[in-house]
Structure 1
Amino acid sequence: MSLKTEFIRLREVDWRELDIKEAGSWPLVLQLLCCFFAFVLPFSAVYFYYVGPAKESMIVARNLEEKLITEYRVKAAKVANLEVMNEQMGVLEVRIEELREMLPTGAEVPSLLDSISEAAIDNKLEIDYLRLRSSQALEHYVERPFDIQVRGGYHQIANFLADVASMPRIVTMHELVMAPDDEDFLVLSLLAKTYSYREQQGSED
Structure 2
Amino acid sequence: MASLKNLDLNAWFADFSSQFQNLNMQEPGQWPPAPRYAAFVVVALLTVGLGWVAVLSDEQSALDAERDKEPQLKEDFNNKLTQAVNLPELRKQKSQVEEYVLQLEKQLPGKAEMDALLSDINQSGLGRGLQFELFRPGAIVMRDYYAEQPIAIKVSGRYHDIGAFTADVSNLSRIVTLHDLAIVVPGTTSNNQNTPPRTDTNTTLSMEATARTYRYLDPNEVEEQKKAAAAAEKKK
TM tier, shorter chain? 0.5 to 0.7
SS at match of 1:202: helix
Separation (CA, whole Å) in 2 of partners of 1:204 and 1:50 = 57
Q: 1:70 corresponds to which residue?
A: 72
Q: 1:173 corresponds to which residue?
A: 178
Separation (CA, whole Å) in 1 of partners of 2:158 and 2:48 = 95
Q: 1:14 corresponds to which residue?
A: none
CA offset digits 1:141-162 (Å, max 9, x no partner): 2222212111223332222111
Alignment match of 2:83 (pick from 69, 81, 84): 81
Query: Compared with structure 1, are the counterparts of its residues 130 and 75 closer, same or farther at alpha carbon in structure 2 (3 Å cutoff)?
Result: farther
Please list every run of 5 or more consecutive structure 1 residues that lacks an aligned counterpart in the other structure: 1-18, 23-40
CA offset digits 1:36-81 (Å, max 9, x no partner): xxxxx89x84884355554553343122132254145225414522
Aligned-residue RMSD, C-alpha? 3.3
Query: Compared with structure 1, are the counterparts of its residues 68 and 162 closer, same or farther at alpha carbon in structure 2 (3 Å cutoff)?
Result: same
Query: Compared with structure 1, are the counterparts of its residues 56 and 202 closer, same or farther at alpha carbon in structure 2 (3 Å cutoff)?
Result: closer
Q: 1:49 corresponds to which residue?
A: 50
Alignment match of 1:186 (pick from 200, 205, 211): 205
SS at match of 2:219: coil
Please list every run of 5 or more consecutive structure 2 residues that lacks an aligned counterpart in the other structure: 1-15, 20-41, 189-202, 225-236
Query: Compared with structure 1, are the counterparts of its residues 79 and 193 closer, same or farther at alpha carbon in structure 2 (3 Å cutoff)?
Result: farther
Alignment coverage as a number of residue pairs: 170
Q: 1:157 corresponds to which residue?
A: 162
Residue 88 of structure 1 aligns with an amino acid whose one-letter code is Q
Q: 2:10 corresponds to which residue?
A: none
Q: Does 1:195 align with 2:214?
A: yes
Of 91-100 and 44-53, deviating more is 44-53
CA offset digits 1:132-176 (Å, max 9, x no partner): 222233331222221211122333222211110111111122222
Instruction: Judge conservation of contact 2:144–2:222 (CA < 8 Å) in 1.
Output: no
The TM-score normalised by the length of structure 1 is 0.66
The TM-score normalised by the length of structure 2 is 0.58
